[in-house]
Amino acid sequence: MSKVLVADDASFMRLMIRQILARRGYVDVVEAENGLRAVELYKATRPELVLLDITMPELDGLAALAEILEFDSRAKILICSAVAQQKMVAEALKRGALDFIIKPFRPDELLAVVSKYLD
């Protein structure tokens, strides 16, 4: 079973992603409410995939991306962000994120990107 870390400051977004992933059988989901917690949970749980928002308190997604990749250069990190942040998404990809999912997304769009890296 694949473990997924979902980092987003919006609890409704974490819940929605968790529910979508559960429908596909990804039930081992760890949640972080900010970038700092995402880094801590990555180190503690070693998930197979990270879904990372960019705009978060404590530590933004770009900084969390850098810290996670410094800890584990093979980490699979996907950016899950709004269209308005397209420039930052491009920067995240340049810094080592594997892919991105634009919010708002349909469940099938999320699952298509996630399954590309887990299945």
Bridge partners of 13, per DSSP, are: none
Q: Which amino acid is at 112?
A: A
Q: Quick one: how far is CA 39 from the chain centroid?
A: 11
- Expressed as residue numbers, the domain containing 39 is 3-118
| Other CB atoms within 10 A of residue 39 CB | 24
**Under a CB-based contact definition with an 8 Å cutoff, are residues 49 and 5 in contact?**
yes
User: Could you give the number of structural domains in the chain?
Assistant: 1
Mean pLDDT along residues 72-93:
86
% the chain with pLDDT above 90: 82
28-32 and 77-82 strand pairing: unpaired
* pLDDT tens-digit map of 15-58: 999 999 999 999 899 999 999 999 999 999 999 999 999 999 99
CATH number reported for the structural domain that contains residue 112 in this entry: 3.40.50.2300
Whole-angstrom distance, CA of residue 12 vs CA of residue 6: 12
pLDDT at residue 85 above 70?
A: no
| Other CB atoms within 10 A of residue 117 CB | 15
Q: Looking at per-residue confidence, does 104 or 41 come out higher?
A: 41
